[in-house]
Every structure is written in structure tokens, then in C-alpha cells.
Amino acid sequence: MKSKVFYFTDDAPKSTWDKSTRIYHRLRPVLLVVLLIENAIGLYFLEGFGVMDGSIIYLPICLLLFVINSTAYFSRKAQDRLIATLNKHFTESNEPWMLTVSHKYTTKVWKYIKLILIYDKACKCMYLAAPLICDTVLHYVFDMLEKPFYLPTFITPWLPKDVTWGPHYYLILVFGWWGMLECLNGIMGFMIGYTLLVTYVLIQVVIFKEKVKSAKIDGSQEEVDAEFRTLLSWHVDNLQLNRDLKAYFGFTCAFQSIFLSVGLTLTVFTAVSSKVIAVKIAYGVGFFFYFGTGLLYCSLGQLLENEVQSKHSEKFEYDYATVSHTAHTRLPRSMQNELRKFHADFETVLFIFYLTTISNIVGLKFFLPSSPTFITVGTKVVGTKVVGTKLAS
């Protein structure tokens, strides 16, 4: 799969394009605030607040985009630590059985990401290119339209009722395209990032569980010491992963729950009440998109819950008790102190089990603060099967 990842190092960019791109990404939260304000003002002066034509859906979308981008930027240090920890585990998980565990989950994930990218291109064609082509052909070739044909965007509330084909119309059309691209890139980028990170975190949980079960406690003193140092290191890393996940994505996931609830409600209402066939189709597709997003968050989160809860099975607890007893009898005193902390932290939830349930979505409840990551999606996004690629802030 081809790769295109937006990544900015700490080094100063050299080319003019790189400098411009970096400045734009730094200014993006401010631009999204401006987009939110202009959309709110436009809806205020629009008849019915844009409920009937579907324009009102873009108000919560603007707020969501601002939350995603601003939290990603201001908590970027937690992201750096998160990616560094996953990089470390990715390079260390090179044993055949570890690769088997990894491939079990990642094969399906990369197929799903390809489907998301196909959906992304289809939405851009349907919502951006198709209306312009239809409007141009029907007006300039066949002269069949009395006024421009367009789908509602962030900027269209500013169009007058008697809009015609002029500079004002095309200027708003271009700014509307920019808003829609930011919308698709932000929401689908979050989906892709969530899917990737929660899968790789799930893999680390499974591998850690298996490492405890298969710990070598009957070898020489040096082998036992090395085995427990590895287990302690993995446990500490897992705890750090949990802290970084909550620090980086907690607030965003809480807001995602509210957004999905509002988005489902507004898309259903618009698809049912609108008299424009194109709007019905567009918002009907949007409903399935938001509904599928909720199912994705629930299903992947449920996998995490199942794996973490399975650690408390009788077999796993017996293995851990055996490991702890052996450590206390064979390890040096310095490592026994570390193991006491290991034992004290063992009952701590390493990862928030799940993000939400269907009832959370319907009932406007918050996501639990653990959603993994955010990627800015371009024409092609994240590609190589290496989690060690730093994601965009």
C-alpha cells in the first residue's frame, strides 16, 4: 500500500512549500475557529437556521474539527511518547509467535483502511466534483437551470436566495470546498488513526499476556533475571501507554460521543424532510457513515475490553502468581522491590476497556477517555505496515 504521511520534524523546513505547509498546520486551529464563527453567523440569518436544507449539520462539525486539531496540537508531547513506546515494542516484537499475533489483527485492519480511503474519494467526488460538473453542463451547455445547483457546505448559508453564476457564487464555492476537505480529512483521519492505534495497543496487550504465561522461571539465575526485567519493562511501558492515551485523546473522544449522537439525529432528519434528491442521497450516505463510525469505535473497544478482562481468568492468575512467587524467592533484592510495584499495579486497568456502547451514542454519554490517535488524511494516507510513523499534530 502506498504511503503518504504528513510529518513535520523539529528541523526548520527548507523549501517554500514545506514552510507554507507547516505554517498552515500551525494556523489550522485558528482557521477552524473562524470557520465556526462564520458558519454560526450564517445559520443565524438563514431561514429556519438551515435545518431543512441540512446546513445546520456543519455547526457541530466545525466544533468537532476544532476540538480534534487543537487537542492534537496542544497534547503533541503525549503523542511523541506514545509513538516512541509503540516504536520500541514494534521493533522488539519480532519473534515468530509475536508476528503471528500481529498479523492476525493487522491484516484485517489494513483492508478496512483501504475501504475508508475508497469511501473518502467517493465522498469527495460526489460532494465536490459532481455538483460542479452537473451545474456547469446543465447551465453552460444545455441552459436548463434557473439558479446554480450545489449541495450545502460550511459557507453556503452566505449565498443569497437569488444567487446567480457570478464571482460571489464561485468564491463561496471554492471556500466551501476547502471546508469540506478539512471535514473529510479530519473525521476520516481520526477514524484511521483510531483504528491503527487501538489495534496496535490491542496487540501489545495480547503479547504481554502471552509473555507472562510463557515466562521462563526454571532456567539459570541470569535467565530468570533477564526474563523478569523484560516483563517489568513491558508492564511499565503499558502503564505509560495508558497515561499517554488518556492525555492525548481523552477530551476528543468525549466530544466524539456527543457529535455522533447529534450527527445521527440531524442526518436522519435532513434525509427524511428534504425535498432535494441529491441532498437526500448525500445525507443518507452520511447517516450510514456516522452509524458505521459508532460501530467501529464500539467493536474495537470491545476487543480491548475482552482481552484485558481475560487476564483475570483463573489460568492467567495462576501463571502470574507462579511468576511472582518465583521472583520473590530467586530475584535479587533490588528487583524484588520493582516486582512489588509490578504486583501493586497489576490490578490497575492498563487500558480503558472500551470507548462507548450503542446506548452511549443514543444517550449522549461521554466516551471513556482512551481513544487512540489522529492522522491528517491526504489523497493517500498512512501506508506501510509500521506503526512507527509519527502522525500529524
- Written as tens digits, the pLDDT of the chain (393 aa) is 444 444 444 455 677 887 888 888 888 888 888 988 988 898 888 877 777 777 888 888 888 888 888 887 787 888 788 788 888 877 877 888 888 888 888 888 888 888 888 888 888 887 788 788 888 888 888 888 888 888 888 888 888 888 888 888 888 888 888 888 888 888 888 888 778 877 888 888 888 888 777 777 666 667 777 777 777 777 777 777 777 777 777 777 777 777 877 888 888 888 888 787 877 887 888 788 778 777 777 777 677 667 766 655 544 444 545 555 454 444 455 555 544 554 444 333 333 322 322 222 222 222 223 333 322 222 223 333 333 333 333
Domain count along the chain: 1
Cell 516484537, residue located: 93
Q: 245 to each of 42, 233, 279, 345, 350, how far by Cα in Å?
A: 37, 18, 38, 18, 11
Q: Report long-range pairs for 33-37 (Cβ below 8 Å, ≥24 apart).
A: 33/66, 35/62, 35/65, 35/154, 35/179, 35/182, 36/62, 36/63, 36/66
pLDDT at 368: 27
286 backbone dihedrals φ, ψ, rounded to 5°: -60, -35
The answer to whether the Cα torsion of 301, 307, 313, 316 is positive or negative is negative
pLDDT at 12: 57
**Is residue 252 a contact partner of residue 371, using CB atoms and an 8 Å limit?**
yes
Cell (9 digits) for 76: 503533541
Give the chain's end-to-end CA distance (angstroms, integer): 23
Q: Map residue 352 onto helix, strand or coil.
A: coil
Q: Is residue 257, in this structure, part of any structural domain at all?
A: yes
Q: Residue 352: which domain range?
A: 24-362
Cell (9 digits) for 336: 524484588
Cell (9 digits) for 260: 455522533
Q: Is residue 270, in this structure, part of any structural domain at all?
A: yes
The answer to whether the Cα torsion of 375, 256, 26, 180 is positive or negative is positive
Q: Is residue 148, in this structure, part of any structural domain at all?
A: yes
Q: Is residue 356, in this structure, part of any structural domain at all?
A: yes
Radius of gyration of the chain (CA): 25
3-state helix, strand, coil in the chain (%, to 5): 75, 0, 25
CB atoms within 10 A of CB 55: 23
The total number of residues written for the chain in this structure: 393
The contacts of residue 170 (CB under 8 Å, 6+ apart) are none
Q: Is residue 147, in this structure, part of any structural domain at all?
A: yes
Cell (9 digits) for 25: 498546520
CA gap 43, 59 in Å, rounded: 9
Alpha carbons within 13 angstroms on the beta-carbon side of residue 22 total 13
The contacts of residue 13 (CB under 8 Å, 6+ apart) are 19, 21, 22
CA gap 36, 19 in Å, rounded: 26
CA gap 47, 45 in Å, rounded: 7
The contacts of residue 210 (CB under 8 Å, 6+ apart) are 97, 101
Q: Is residue 19, in this structure, part of any structural domain at all?
A: no
CA gap 200, 387 in Å, rounded: 7
Q: Angle at which helices 58-74 and 16-45 pack, to 10 degrees?
A: 140
Q: Is residue 388, in this structure, part of any structural domain at all?
A: no
**Is residue 283 a contact partner of residue 271, using CB atoms and an 8 Å limit?**
yes
Cell (9 digits) for 373: 490517535
Each residue of 238-252: b (16+ CB within 10 Å) or e?
A: bbebbebbbbbbbbb
Q: Is residue 392, in this structure, part of any structural domain at all?
A: no
Alpha helices in 130-166 (DSSP H): 130-136
Cell (9 digits) for 371: 481513544
